A and B are shown apart, each in its own frame.
Chain A
């Protein structure tokens, strides 16, 4: 089966760095995604990792270790607008193109 775990809530202050962890178990890993979802809005795509290592995209970076079933999303120079839910999702090769989502991490950024 598939299982994705991420912390329910995190808090941080403006300008800081925060790391949101995600661990997963799948029968056939075929990619990991991070999405951002502001309250009442649609999820927006942040990053995609399929090979081990770090992918950097501006203030956001995502890391993957397939052997450990582990990923993290790193947010630098936090801004108030980064307050949102961050969703980790994996694609299982046995499930076609479906994304299996974790329940999300709600990040609150304060000044």
Chain B
């Protein structure tokens, strides 16, 4: 089975721009979670989607949003980028009824 895939792997944006990141979960997994990883704060939960509905949301500003499609693929969007948004954005999927989350390789976003 293919693992979680994320595109693009690397991205450089300018402050004030917006960005969309994509995540394809493991086949059959309907839950997709997004995390931000920075050296200072570690891994922080952004939001979780299940069956196209946001099921849970972390403590991030409204500039961070996401959605999930009927095939369970998910996107996250960050508008009005700030320098502090530079981070590794990780997506994880979970099989239904199981607790573990399987992470993708991440998208490295650099905001200049």
Q: What is the interface of chain A, defined by CB distance below 8 A to chain B? A: 31, 33, 35, 41-45, 48, 50, 87, 89, 91, 95-104
Contacts and interface: CB of A to CB of B under 8 A. Distances in A.
Prevailing SS type, chain B contact patch: strand
Contacts of A104: 42
Contact of A98 (B33, B99, B103): B33
Contacts of A33: 99-101
Interface of B: 4, 31, 33, 35, 41-45, 48, 55-56, 58, 90, 94, 99-106
B43 A101 contact: yes
B100 A48 contact: yes
A77 to B, nearest CB: 24
Given A100-B45, A101-B42, A31 B99 contact: yes
Given A96-B48, A97-B31, A97-B33, A45 B102 contact: yes
A58 to B, nearest CB: 16
Contact of A42 (B31, B94, B103): B103
A99 B56 contact: no
A48 B94 CA distance: 14
Given A42-B106, A95-B45, A100-B45, 4 more contacts: A96-B48, A97-B48, A98-B33, A98-B48
A103 B42 contact: yes
B55 A96 contact: yes
A84 B90 CA distance: 18
A30 B105 CA distance: 26
A97 B56 contact: yes
Contacts of A97: 31, 33, 48, 55-56, 94
A96 B56 contact: yes
